[in-house]
Amino acid sequence: MKKIFILILSLIVTTLTACGENTEAAFNQVPTTKDNSIEINFTNTPSSDSELITVNSFHNEEYKMNIEYPCTSYSQLNEITEDLVYGCIEQQKQTMNDGSELSISYETVKFTDYLLGFKFNIHTKTSTEETSVIKTLTFDLENGKNILLEDIFEDNIDYIELITKKLPLNILAHNPILTKSKLSNFIIDQSNLNIYFEANQFENSIENVSISLDSIYNKLSNFFKNNMEEQKKLIALTFDDGPNPLTTPVLLDGLAQRDVKATFFMLGMCIEKNIDIVKRMYNEGHGIGNHSYGHKKLTSLDEMGIKEQYNRPNEILNSIINTDSTLFRPPYGSVNDCVKSIVDVPIILWDIDPYDWKYKDADVISEHIINKAEDGDIILLHDIYSTSVEAAFKVIDALKEKGFKFVTVDELIRRNNVQPEASQVFRFERKNENS
């Protein structure tokens, strides 16, 4: 009879253990530990880190435990967390009579809103020694998945070898042998993959190594890259004053090779001389912009003159590709109210101007852009110079490594469902930059 009672009791306890299986009921429930010999009641409260998690906490002087751990709405993920936490509690129960103390705290590291890492700091203290151990868990809270290191790399990548190569030289000197289990503790923040090693794992003890995500971008799995894409580091290349029969086709070849779409602000007088190039541009999905007919400073013209400069390129475009330009960039970026009253598409200026027409040096131009590039930027170049074309390729290759995605200006200004108005001026320019 007594045995049956214990069995029933332990069944009830086990059922209560799974926290947050139902998020609505999760708050203030009191799950207990898997062992009922001592009473450990966790308090469940909302988390300030994320709406997708709650916090289970237990603070008790008598048992010398201070424990906090995150709870999700996925029971299978909670079991993984609890295995980690209860393992420590079991140990503490063995040693607490000797004065041992246990504290488990954690911090949430967000890669995206749904891809979260939890970094646990497990601290034990006895009369003779104190130890701190870092343990980590990474969860995909969109799909209820526990993320392992292998999930973030492409299948054919030997990530153990890759990480070994990234170890600091003083560690490499000792020929460390990494294994899957030695790489089980990792956290991904906005820019790095951080791996935590157990104390004294290597002769020359290191606790962690950080590897920049940019440096391993090409090795990452599609799952992980898609999560990175969601962070939306978008950038738009724009090319003015063309097309040019010598340099523009070279640019189009290189863009096609790199699968990059750009936006061309063309002069009417160049469009009419390079019809096939414009057709190719359009067919290959690049943005078609109007940069006036003859590159006159519009603010020095009267209304008739502005209309002539604005409308003629559209008439030519219509005869070639059956459509007007969707964007306008005034020569020299000069705009006044009269220009705005005539232009019936968004007016696009720029954020980064490397003065490519002045320097005519691919390295100088590309470095300027690469150093300044930020999410949402519009870059000004001229496809009539071979040095600018060369610089564009360098910029694309370098910024792709850094996780940038090249899009047309149309795509950039319509991000987050923004609907631009006619003659609205887009100048994502950072303040005080000389243009």
Question: What is the contact surface with Zn ion in residues (CB under 5 A)?
Answer: 240-241, 331
**Cα R_g (the chain), whole angstroms:** 30
Smallest gap from Cβ 240 to Zn ion, in A, equals 4
Please give the Cα distance from 177 to 160 (Å, whole number).
9
Instruction: Please give the C-alpha separations between residue 301 and each of 240, 297, 307, 308, 424, in angstroms, as whole numbers.
Output: 21, 7, 9, 10, 20
Which of 102, 107, 41 has its CA nearest to residue 69? 107
Whose Cβ is closer to Zn ion: residue 197's or residue 265's?
265
Judge whether 56 and 68 are in contact, CB under 8 Å.
yes
Whose Cβ is closer to Zn ion: residue 140's or residue 240's?
240
Whose Cβ is closer to Zn ion: residue 67's or residue 380's?
380
Coil, strand or helix: which one is 419? coil
Smallest gap from Cβ 372 to Zn ion, in A, equals 20
Task: For 330-375, give the DSSP string.
Answer: -GGG---HHHHHH--S-EE--SB---HHHH--HHHHHHHHHHH--T
Whose Cβ is closer to Zn ion: residue 377's or residue 383's?
383
| Cβ-Cβ contacts under 8 Å for 111 (sequence gap 6 or more) | 117, 188, 189, 190, 227
Whose Cβ is closer to Zn ion: residue 323's or residue 435's?
435
Please give the Cα distance from 306 to 168 (Å, whole number).
62
Smallest gap from Cβ 291 to Zn ion, in A, equals 6
Whose Cβ is closer to Zn ion: residue 193's or residue 335's?
335
Which of 118, 155, 165, 163 has its CA nearest to residue 140? 118
Residue 49 known to be catalytic? no
Cα of 332 vs its chain's centroid, Å? 34
Residue 324 known to be catalytic? no
Looking at 140, 240, 241, 377, which residue is catalytic?
240
- Token reading at 99: 């004065």
Instruction: Please give the C-alpha separations between residue 209 and each of 147, 181, 196, in angstroms, as whole numbers.
Output: 19, 16, 7
Smallest gap from Cβ 261 to Zn ion, in A, equals 20
Smallest gap from Cβ 313 to Zn ion, in A, equals 13
Instruction: Please give the C-alpha separations between residue 128 and each of 90, 99, 100, 121, 335, in angstroms, as whole numbers.
Output: 20, 10, 10, 20, 75
Judge whether 187 and 109 are in contact, CB under 8 Å.
yes
Give the DSSP H or E segment for 277: helix 275-283
Whose Cβ is closer to Zn ion: residue 195's or residue 348's?
348
Smallest gap from Cβ 159 to Zn ion, in A, equals 47
Smallest gap from Cβ 370 to Zn ion, in A, equals 23
Looking at 241, 291, 382, 410, which residue is catalytic?
382
Which residues are the active-site residues? 240, 382
